[in-house]
């Protein structure tokens, strides 16, 4: 499974790359802290996958708190035909530690 480091993601953000980032944490976690991603909690993913169906053939970066839930999301999305799903290594914890 593919991963992206926090440093790589931040460099791509600084370059204003067109990024599709999905946060698979819960609503309350997202409200406490987010990096501007689209919220789609892991538990809701099977029921709301149609919301991101247009991203099947482009790069999608998934993240959570530490990387575990997003790894599950990555596996699920790949099984549903998403061709380029990348997990943010270390999740938002690593993202904030690298500030």
Q: pLDDT tens digit string along 1-51?
A: 899 999 999 999 999 999 999 999 999 999 999 999 999 999 999 999 999
The total domain count for the chain is: 1
> How does DSSP assign 70-83, residue by residue?
HHHHHHHHHHTT-S
What is this structure's pTM?
0.96
Instruction: Tell me the CATH number at 66.
Output: 3.40.250.10
**Cα–Cα distance list, 70 to 15, 48, 77, 78 (Å):** 24, 16, 10, 12
Is 98 a catalytic site residue?
no
pLDDT at 99 over 80: no
Range of the domain at 13: 2-97
Instruction: Give percent above pLDDT 90 in the chain.
Output: 97
User: 24, 40, 64, 71: which is the annotated catalytic residue?
Assistant: 64
- Confidence category of residue 98, pLDDT binned at 50, 70, 90: confident
């Amino acid at each position: 499974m593919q991963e992206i480091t926090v440093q790589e993601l931040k460099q791509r953000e600084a370059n204003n790359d067109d990024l599709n980032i999905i946060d698979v944490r819960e609503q309350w976690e997202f409200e406490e802290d987010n990096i501007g991603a689209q919220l789609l909690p892991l538990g809701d993913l099977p029921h709301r996958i149609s919301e991101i169906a247009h991203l099947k053939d482009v790069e999608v970066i998934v993240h959570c708190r530490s990387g575990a839930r997003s790894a599950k999301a990555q596996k699920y999305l790949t099984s549903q035909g998403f061709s380029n799903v990348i997990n943010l290594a270390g999740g938002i914890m690593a993202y904030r530690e690298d500030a």
